[in-house]
Amino acid sequence: MKTKKLIPMGMILAFLVVPAQAFAHHGVSAYDVTKQITLKGVVTSFEFINPHSEIRLDVTDESGHKVTWLCEAGSLNFLVRRGWSRNSLKAGDEITVMGNAAKNGVPNLRLTKVVLPDGKELDPLGGPNIR
């Protein structure tokens, strides 16, 4: 009988102890989804990780300065279903990416398409484009 009372109390305690960040997930509100930009650059790293895979891309801007963009793709699960692997990109690859830039001007991009030098396109979202 005492055990049955302890289970709900334990669950409540666990809920209070787990940080709120564990339950949080961002949407697309940080990105300007009304505009799509295209960048061409050189991959400096590809992190095939959860919750979102990341590509760091060196892009030369109009004034000749190199800017490193952080490009966010979908989760591993979604990417694997779309044919991605940890070997899909490597440092030194020259690629073209399309997506939504961060509203605050930071060089972050929510990817909507990746185009490899041979013209092959990779779907980075793993699902319908959320608008």
What average pLDDT does the segment 78-90 reach?
92
What average pLDDT does the segment 32-60 reach?
95
- The pLDDT tens digits of the residues spanning 2-24 come to 656 656 555 554 444 444 444 44
Domain ranges of the chain: 30-122
Alpha carbon distance, N-terminus to C-terminus of the chain: 51
Please compute Rg for the chain using Cα positions. Answer: 19
- CB 95, CB 51: distance < 8 Å: no
Distance between CA atoms of residues 71 and 54, nearest Å:
6
What average pLDDT does the segment 52-80 reach?
94
CATH class given for the domain over 30-122? mainly beta
- The pLDDT tens digits of the residues spanning 29-43 come to 789 899 999 999 999
pLDDT higher at 82 or 131: 82
- pLDDT score for 10: 52
